[in-house]
């Protein structure tokens, strides 16, 4: 079973989510992120936050892969964006890996590194 984790994107920067409460579906009622200055409640900024979910996968260096990450294949230089959780798990089936994308490296994400697209 994969670990459930989230990151919050606020003003084009990703932050670890410490606490998140879902009302139903993907509607969020409360969120606390980890900033450089410590935990910060972000409820008043809910409309400005995007949520990234951890795929349960790690790249060749052990970096966790989240939705919106940009990964590159070290052998073919093929670059792709991890769009949704199911896409990442399809990659595992294709490469027959176990919780790792051994040929792939996270080089950034679509929020903090749009120039990579």
Q: How many CB atoms lie within 10 A of CB 99?
A: 11
- Cα–Cα distance between 111 and 27 in angstroms, integer? 21
The residue extents of the domains of the chain are: 6-116
> What pLDDT is attached to residue 116?
87
Instruction: Report CA 104 to chain centroid distance, whole Å.
Output: 15
pLDDT along the chain (117 residues), means of 10: 89 96 87 96 94 87 90 76 59 48 83 91
> What pLDDT is attached to residue 113?
93
Phi and psi (nearest 5°) for 97?
-100, 165
Q: What is the pTM of this model?
A: 0.82
> What pLDDT is attached to residue 95?
46
Architecture of domain 6-116: Roll (2.30)
Residue 79 makes CB contacts below 8 A (sequence gap 6+) with 70, 71, 72, 73, 107, 116
Q: Are 7 and 14 in contact (CB under 8 A)?
A: yes
- Adjacent-strand bridge partners of 34: 16, 39
> What pLDDT is attached to residue 94?
44
């Amino acid at each position: 079973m994969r670990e459930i984790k989230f990151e919050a994107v606020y003003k084009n920067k990703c932050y670890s989510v410490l606490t998140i409460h879902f009302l139903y579906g993907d509607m969020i009622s409360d969120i606390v992120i980890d900033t450089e200055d410590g935990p910060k409640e972000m409820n008043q900024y809910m409309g400005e936050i995007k949520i990234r979910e951890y795929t349960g996968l790690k790249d060749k260096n052990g970096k966790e892969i989240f939705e919106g990450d940009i990964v590159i294949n070290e052998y073919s230089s093929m670059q792709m964006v991890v769009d949704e959780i199911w896409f990442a798990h399809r990659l595992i089936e294709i490469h027959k890996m176990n919780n790792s994308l051994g040929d792939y490296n996270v080089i950034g994400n679509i929020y903090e590194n749009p120039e990579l697209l």
